[in-house]
Amino acid sequence: METPGTDTPTTKVLEQPWKKYWPPQADFRPTDEELEAKPWLTWKPDPNNPNEKPWYTWMNDPKYNPNLLRSAAKTDAAQQLSGSGSPSPNPTPTPEPNPTPTPEPKPEATIAEGG
C-alpha cells in the first residue's frame, strides 16, 4: 500500500524545437539555407540600438510565419461569405467609447511632488 504524498505526478513534456538551437553552441555553424529561413539563429542585440525588436518583423512576415497565410485566407473567406466586400489589408478596430469621463487632474500638488 502506498503512503499518501509519495505519488509522483506525471507531466506531459511539451515539444520545444527551439531548444536544439538555444543556447547557441560555440561550434554552431548554420548553413546559408538555415540562416535565410531562420535569421533569429544568429541575431544578437545591438548595443547602439537597444530598442531593436526584429522578431516583430519576423512574426508578421509570411516568409517566417506560414500561419499568417492561413489566418489571412480564413479572414478573406469569411469576409467573402459575409458579403462585406474586399478585405482591408490592415483592419483597424474601432475603439469602444468610454462611458465614464476621465477626471481632470487637480491643480494641487501630487504625492510625487511632495504635496
Residue of 87, 56, 57 lying closest to 73 (CA atoms): 87
CA 101, 104, 105, 106 torsion: positive or negative?
negative
Residues of the chain with pLDDT under 50: none
Dihedral of alpha carbons 54, 55, 59, 63, sign = positive
Place of cell 553552441: 25
Computed on alpha carbons and rounded to an integer, the radius of gyration of the chain in Å comes to 26
CA-wise closest residue to 35 among 49, 23, 21: 21
User: Which sign, positive or negative, has the C-alpha torsion 96, 97, 99, 105?
Assistant: positive
- Rounded Cα distance, 4 and 115, in Å: 58
At residue 92, the pLDDT reads 65
Q: What is the reported pLDDT for 49?
A: 92
Judge contact between 24 and 34, C-beta under 8 A: no
- pLDDT of 70 reads 72
